[in-house]
Amino acid sequence: MNTLLTILTVLPTLLFAAACVLLLARRASVGGERILGAGLVCCVLLLAANAWAAQAPPLGNMRHVLCALPLLLAPVWAYLRHNGVQAGAGIAGVAAVALVGALCMPLQAGWRQAPALQSPWFVPHVTSYVAAYAMLTLSALYAAGAWGVRQLPRLEAAHILARLAFPFLTFGLCSGALWADAAWGRYWAWDIKEVWSLITWVIYLIYFHAQNSSPGKQRALLILGFVAVLVTFLIVNMAPVAADSLHSYAQ
């Protein structure tokens, strides 16, 4: 089973990387989008295999979450295409990086959720956060590339993505509090991951209240928000201090 899971992770990684190169070259966009679609199909198989191995929704550890992330970008890709935003290269790139990250994580094929954390909030809470983080990663990419004559169109794309992500970010924060109350008897414990989740949410709230500021400040806030996402999603889980976190199960 471990070999199958590895193959099902490596294959879409290669497909997404190839799709990203082709879409960036803009000479084989149709072929690139087809390869991107093939990568997403492989991710469906990977998700099913992870679920079979874990006998549970495969969202409970870092590897599972990173494997699921590309699929959550699929509806975003469709939405952006419908609105005239060509984001295939960025989506393929983010998906490839996510799966490379998954390959660097322990396999934990038979991961089991702690009994105290078995809750109806598990899937919606984790899914909403992963969807938000995926969209905010794309938003930061557009913001980072918003220079010169392409500044305003790319900032607009970055804003669309941030606007789509914020309700998911908010739901993740609120559902996490409700889940914490059910699991630990309190809505908020000032756990390091909770704190950084709140910091991330506040940065994007500030961004939405700064729409009349200069493009440079908007770009800076989007990039700062993405840095906070990285800290919340990766660094907090991997830092030594995470050993004492209530969220240490999510490593």
Tokens of 238: 């991997």
Residue among 191, 194, 190, 224 at smallest CA distance from 207: 224
pTM of the prediction? 0.88
Residue 165 confidence (pLDDT): 96
Q: pLDDT (tens digit, 0 to 9) for every residue of the chain, 251 residues total?
A: 788 999 999 999 999 999 999 998 876 677 889 999 999 999 999 999 999 988 888 887 889 999 999 999 999 999 888 888 888 999 999 999 999 999 998 876 555 666 656 788 888 999 999 999 999 999 999 998 877 656 778 898 899 999 999 999 999 999 999 988 887 788 888 888 899 999 999 999 999 998 888 888 999 999 999 999 999 988 887 765 555 555 655 54
Distance from C-alpha of 99 to C-alpha of 88, rounded to nearest angstrom: 16
Continuous segment of H or E residues that includes residue 97: helix 88-103
Residue 19 confidence (pLDDT): 94
Domain segments of the chain as ranges: 1-112, 116-251
Residue 200 confidence (pLDDT): 97
Distance from C-alpha of 95 to C-alpha of 13, rounded to nearest angstrom: 7
Tokens of 216: 């440079």
The residue count of the chain comes to 251
- 227 contacts: CB under 8 Å, gap ≥ 6: none
CA atoms within 13 A on the CB side of 203: 22
Residue with token string 């983080």? 133
CA atoms within 13 A on the CB side of 114: 11
- 206 contacts: CB under 8 Å, gap ≥ 6: 221
Residue 182 confidence (pLDDT): 83
